[in-house]
Structure 1
Amino acid sequence: MNHKMLFFLSLFVIAVGITGIVMQKKEPVTDDNVPAVYHGGTKKVIAIAETLREIKPHQILNSGDYQIRTLEIDEASQDIRDISLLGTNNLNGYLVLNHLPANSAILPDRVEAPGSQTFVLHSLKENEMPYSYRVRAQDESLLTSLAVGDEVTLYIRLIENEKGQIINTGSLSETSAAPNSANLNYAISRICGPLSIIEIKKDKYQGEKSGYEHDETVGSIVLRASREQLADLRVAEKAGEILLFPTDSEKEGDKKLSMNEVLKQFRAVKQLRGDQ
């Protein structure tokens, strides 16, 4: 083999060697002893709340305003939508602080829990004021059957004489012997509503006493009312007894209901006797 052939063969070997070195640098280094990185990790389930419609500030949430959806995320991750950060599994009674579009997530920092120190203040709009309804012992169940965010309607119960004239009930009790009581008629009529409950206060001594008097105050229900509604209530308080009932939009109306309508059979007896 001549020198020229050996020279070209050497160049070919060198070229092959250089190419091999370059290709080796481009290939990823694999080592069976190096553990692969696994990004899955341990999972956890969180709950997020999403609006079903547009929610405006000052609104108190109920079950028809939002839906709860669960989501699986990495154990080490945090999601600002997680409502468990509030220590609850639902947002009923929570106050909305900012405008929320429909189908948007309700972030924990955009709502305020019922019972917080500023809940009542933040729930009132510019033209609204709180109205405190006194709960007597006979209506104690209202304190546990109702919740913040529920809507109620207020009625007034009056005493009328046979001519339909109102008698001030402030000086008469249900058991008192009123003059000409046979000719008196109880009547009830709607004043205003629906009104939202923004706070429920129970008597701090409740449960420590052996019992309550029939007319004793055991707590109060604070309602959100407009200035006009509040003015009407202050006037009505002097005319009769204010009664609170859960709102029933299907049955409510402004029609007055009198005792003669409820107890029609007794009215018939009186007519037969000639009392009327």
Structure 2
Amino acid sequence: MNRKFLLLFSILIIAIGITGILVGYGDDKKETTRLAQQNNEKKVTILLAQAIRDLPSDTLLDKTDYAIKKIAVDESSDLIKSDISDIININSYLLKTNVVTGSYITKDMLVPPDSDEFIHLNLQKDHMIYKFDIKQQEDYLLNTLRIGDTISLQLRTLETDKKKGMGNGIVINTKKMSGISNKNYSLNDIISSMKVVRIKKHSAAELSEQNRNNQKNNEEIKGYIYVVMKTKDLDLIRLVENSGDIFLMPSYNIRDNTKHNNLYEIIPKLRTTRELRG
């Protein structure tokens, strides 16, 4: 009886050992196969934008907000979800969510500045979007302004009689100002700050098409700018648009006392000459 038991026990031990060897061999083979597959997996190069400080939602991104990293990863890497390679530049993009320092900024967090969503996210109550066509005289704005900058609306008028003028001594005249001697033009700040939310500069092909369609229009439209302004300011635009020459200008610092409002402040000698002539 004891011999049979010992024989069966020995056979059981041997079977367990063989099974363990076979299982271990199978696991080793699987691990070897997995490592071989990893070594053979294709590498891809991705671009990552990593926040260098806490960024709240509605932030208009600037190059000081993030650092760009270019790395090579496996095709199966989770980092591919954060790849922004197909976006040329994320400056001026709007953040939809909060991003903490060190986190990656992903495409689904971003709103492009040329989208309708971007414009609507910039709107507050009692504000509206207004489009300004940009002509040759102001086309420098298309090259110098960035999304998020502010511009002002200025009205150039002709000062004819300070005693009869408005509170600032200006009489508004029509654009046909020729034939008037001793002219003194003044610049009046109508809307001091409007946020730029879209800038479009027409391509050469678009300008050519525009010229074909609008041959009667002598003033070529170089592009346009969308701004956010208060709804009530639309009344101001309608009041002054035919009262003088309208200009868009980058907003200036109010503390900058070098700004001049009329021609005599720029060239004081003209005032002296006019006074001498009576």
What TM-score do the two structures reach when normalised by structure 2?
0.70
Tell me: CA distance 1:212–1:73, structure 2 relative to 1, closer, same or farther (3 Å).
Answer: farther
SS at match of 1:157: strand
Q: 1:56 to 1:169 in 2, by over 3 A?
A: farther
Displacement of 1:177: 1.7
For the residue of structure 2 that corresponds to 1:187, the secondary structure is strand
Q: Say which SS state the counterpart of residue 25 (structure 2) adopts.
A: coil
Secondary structure, aligned partner of 2:156: strand
* Compared CA separation, residues 143 and 214, structure 1 to 2 (3 A): farther
* 2:84 alignment partner in structure 1: 83
Residues 127 and 143 of structure 1: CA distance in aligned 2, closer, same or farther (over 3 Å): same
Q: Per the alignment, in what secondary structure is the counterpart of residue 34 of structure 2?
A: coil
- d(CA) in 2 for partners of 1:247 and 1:267? 28
Q: Aligned letter for 1:134?
A: D
1:116 aligned onto 2:115: yes
| Number of residue pairs the alignment of both structures matches | 259
1:99 aligns with 2:97: yes
Flag the 1:101–1:18 CA change in 2: closer, same or farther, 3 A: closer
Q: Give the CA deviation at 1:162.
A: 5.0
- Relative to structure 2, which stretch is displaced further, 13-22 or 46-55? 13-22
Answer whether contact 1:123 1:198 (CA < 8 A) is retained: no
Does residue 1:168 correspond to 2:172, yes or no?
Answer: yes
Distance in structure 1 (CA, Å) of the matches to 2:217 and 2:271:
32
- After TM superposition, give the deviation of residue 207 of structure 1 in Å: 3.6
Following the alignment from structure 1 to structure 2, what is the Cα–Cα distance between the partners of residues 8 and 122?
87
Letter in 1 for 2:20: K
Matching of residue 222 in structure 1 with residue 222 in structure 2: no
Q: Distance in 1 between the 2:29 and 2:135 partners?
A: 77
When Rg is computed on C-alpha atoms for both structures, the one with the higher figure is 1
Cα distance, 1:102 vs structure 2: 4.1
Matched, 1:61 2:55: no
Write the distance in 1 (CA, Å) between the matches of 2:237 and 2:257. Answer: 17
Structure with greater helix share of residues: 2
CA distance in 2, matches of 1:263, 1:44: 63
Q: CA deviation at 1:160?
A: 1.6
Partners of 1:148 and 1:197 within 8 A in 2: yes
What is the CA distance between 1:242 and its match in structure 2? 2.8
User: Could you list the runs of 5+ residues in structure 1 that have no partner in the other structure?
Assistant: 1-6
**What RMSD, in angstroms, separates the aligned Cα atoms of the two structures?**
4.0
Q: Indicate yes or no: 2:34 matched with 1:37.
A: yes
Q: How far off its partner does 1:156 sit?
A: 2.8
Secondary structure at the counterpart of residue 54 of structure 1: coil
Alpha carbons of structure 1 residues 123 and 31: separation in structure 2 relative to 1, 3 Å? closer
Alpha-carbon offset, residue 169 of structure 1: 3.7
Structure 1 pair 219–212 and aligned structure 2 pair: CA distance change class (3 A): farther
CA drift of 1:241 comes to 2.8
Tell me the alpha carbon deviations over residues 172-214 of structure 1, each in whole angstroms, 9 at most, x when there is no partner: 34xx222xx31x3212243311522324364975145599987
Moved more, 127-136 or 160-169: 160-169
C-alpha separation between the residues in 2 aligned to 1:50 and 1:249? Answer: 33
Matched to 1:137, the amino acid is Q
The Cα of 1:239 is off from its aligned counterpart by 4.2
- CA–CA distance in 1 between the matches of 2:257 and 2:153? 12
Equivalent in the alignment of 2:152:
153
Q: Which region of structure 1 is more displaced relative to structure 2, 10-19 or 262-271?
A: 10-19
The answer to whether the Cα contact below 8 Å between 1:82 and 1:107 also exists between their aligned partners in 2 is: yes
Q: 1:264 aligns with which of 263, 268, 271?
A: 268
Aligned mates of 1:107, 1:267 — CA distance in 2:
60
Q: Kindly tell me: are residues 251 and 205 of structure 1, through their superposed partners in 2, closer, same or farther at Cα, counting changes over 3 Å?
A: farther
For residue 223 of structure 1, report the CA deviation from its aligned partner: 0.8
Alpha carbons 2:135, 2:221 under 8 Å: kept: yes
Identical columns (%): 23
Q: SS of the residue aligned with 1:196?
A: strand
Tell me the amino acid that sits aligned with residue 185 of structure 1: N
TM superposition shift of 1:133:
2.0
Shift in CA distance, 118/12, structure 1 to aligned 2, threshold 3 Å: closer
Secondary structure in 2 aligned to 1:120?
Answer: helix
* Contact residue 188 and residue 258 of structure 1 kept, 8 A: yes
Report the 3-state secondary structure (helix = DSSP H, G, I; strand = E; otherwise coil) of the residue aligned with 2:114.
Answer: coil
Work out the CA distance in 1 between the residues paired with 2:219 and 2:173. 15
Contact 1:192 1:229 in 2 (8 A): no
**TM-score, normalised relative to structure 1:** 0.71
Q: CA deviation at 1:143?
A: 2.9
